[in-house]
Amino acid sequence: MSTVSLQHIKKTYEGNVTAVHDFNLEIADKEFIVLVGPSGCGKSTTLRMIAGLEDITDGDMFIDDTRVNDVEPKDRDIAMVFQNYALYPHMSVYENMAFALKLRKMPKDEIDKAVRQAAEILDITTYLDRKPKALSGGQRQRVAIGRAIVRNPKVFLMDEPLSNLDAKLRNQMRAEIIKLRQRIDTTFVYVTHDQTEAMTLGDRIVIMKDGLVQQIGTPQEVFDHPYNQFVAGFIGTPQMNFYQAQLVKEGDKYAVKLADATVVLSDEKQANLAKNNVQSQAITLGVRPEHITLEKTTAGTVSGTVGVSEMMGSSIYLHVTACEKDTVIIVQTRDLEGDYLKDFAANATIQFSFPGNVCHLFDPKTELNLEG
C-alpha cells in the first residue's frame, strides 16, 4: 500500500512568490499521476514537496497514514529521477545502481540480486561494467531509473525524465516507462510540460497553471470535458480552435449562431446548458481541428481562405482565415480525394461546418465551460 494525500498544500518561497496554491489530490495505491502545465506553473515545486526537498508552507501531506510534512526525504521511502540523470561519473553502472543500497548496509548478495533484477527489467545488463560516459543519453536515463528501482520505493517520483532526449528516443523511453510501470507495482508521480507524455502515461493527469490546479481527470475526461479554455487549449494537438459566437436560447432550445451558419447542439449539450440555466450570451466556441467538416456548399456554412496547408501524410492541416471573423483556425482533413493539392492551395476558398456534438462552449469572461 502506498497512497499519497495532498491536503490544501501551499508553497510560498522567500520573497513572497506563491508557487502552489491550495493543492488537493488523493493519489491511490499504484496509481500513475502526471502533473502537467507550462513552465513555472508549480509542478516541480509540488513534486519536490512530496519528495521532502522543499518545505511545505501550509497544508498536510500524508504518505499512507503518516503525516510527512516534517519527515526527512531519506525517511519517506520515495525515489526520484531527475531530468539530468545525476549519475556518478567515476562509478560503473553497477556501482551507480548499488550505491544507495550499500549506504543502507544491505548484504552484498541482496544488493547483487536487486541490481541484476533492475538491470534485467531495463535491459541494461550488458552495460553493467561501463562508466556513464560510455553510454548514450537513453541508456544513462535507464541507469538513473534503475538506481531508483533497486530501492523498491513506496512512491516513484519523476521530474521531466525524458526532456534531455531527442524526439525519437523520447518516444521509445515513453514506451519503456509504460512497460516499467506494468512490471513494478508502485505509485508514480511524474512531472512533464508535454501534454502527449501526460496523456499517454497518466491514469489521471493534473493540469496546472500559475500554481493553481485547473483540472484533475483521466486523459479522456480532460480531453472530452475540459473545465475551462486553458485546459481545452493545452490538451490535444493540433490545438483546439476558438471562435467568437453567440449562444441563442429560443424556448427551451439552444443554438450557436455564426454570421452565416448555425450550429445545432446535441441533446446532451442542450441538457447540460439547461441544467446550468445558461441564457443567451456571447460565447467562445471551441472546436478541435479534427472535428471540423469540409462542406461543398456555401449555404449555411462558414467560408474561409487557406493560408498555409501542411501535408502530414495521412491528413492535411489547413490554416484557414475564416472570412466572417478574420480568425485563423486550423482544419484537419483526411479528405485527400480528387485534386486536393489544388483545392487546398494557398488562397483557395473553402467551406466548412462546426459539429454540434463535440464542440465546447466557453464564457468569454470567466473562460469556464458553460456545460460545467
Ligand X SMILES: Nc1ncnc2c1ncn2[C@@H]1O[C@H](COP(=O)(O)OP(=O)(O)OP(=O)(O)O)[C@@H](O)[C@H]1O
Binding residue for ligand X (CB under 6 A) from 2, 44, 96, 284? Answer: 44
Q: What's the gap between Cα 272 and its chain centre?
A: 26
- Which CB, 53 or 259, lies closer to ligand X? 53
- Which CB, 15 or 107, lies closer to ligand X? 15
Residue nearest to ligand X (CB): 44
Q: What is the DSSP string of 293-335?
A: EEES-STTSEEEEEEEEEE-SS-EEEEEEETTTTEEEEEEE--
Coil, helix or strand at residue 145: helix
Annotate each residue in 3-42 with x if it binds ligand X (CB under 6 A) or - if it does not, as one string: ----------x-x-x-x-----------------x-xxxx
| Interatomic CA distance for residues 78 and 71, integer angstroms | 12
Do 75 and 51 contact (CB within 8 A), yes or no?
Answer: no
- Which CB, 15 or 338, lies closer to ligand X? 15
Separation in Å, CA 87 to CA 76, 137, 141, 249, 295: 22, 12, 9, 62, 57
Q: How far is the CB of 329 from ligand X (least distance, A)?
A: 28
Please report, as a single letter, which amino acid is at residue 30.
Answer: K
Separation in Å, CA 33 to CA 7, 153, 326: 16, 16, 40
> Is residue 43 a contact point for ligand X (CB under 6 A)?
yes
Q: How far is the CB of 174 from ligand X (least distance, A)?
A: 18
Binding residue for ligand X (CB under 6 A) from 193, 269, 319, 360? Answer: 193
Location of C-alpha cell 443567451: 280
Q: How far is the CB of 36 from ligand X (least distance, A)?
A: 9
> Is residue 214 a contact point for ligand X (CB under 6 A)?
no
> Is residue 49 a contact point for ligand X (CB under 6 A)?
no
Q: How far is the CB of 112 from ligand X (least distance, A)?
A: 37
**Which residues of the shown chain bind ligand X in the complex (CB under 6 A)?**
13, 15, 17, 19, 37, 39-45, 193
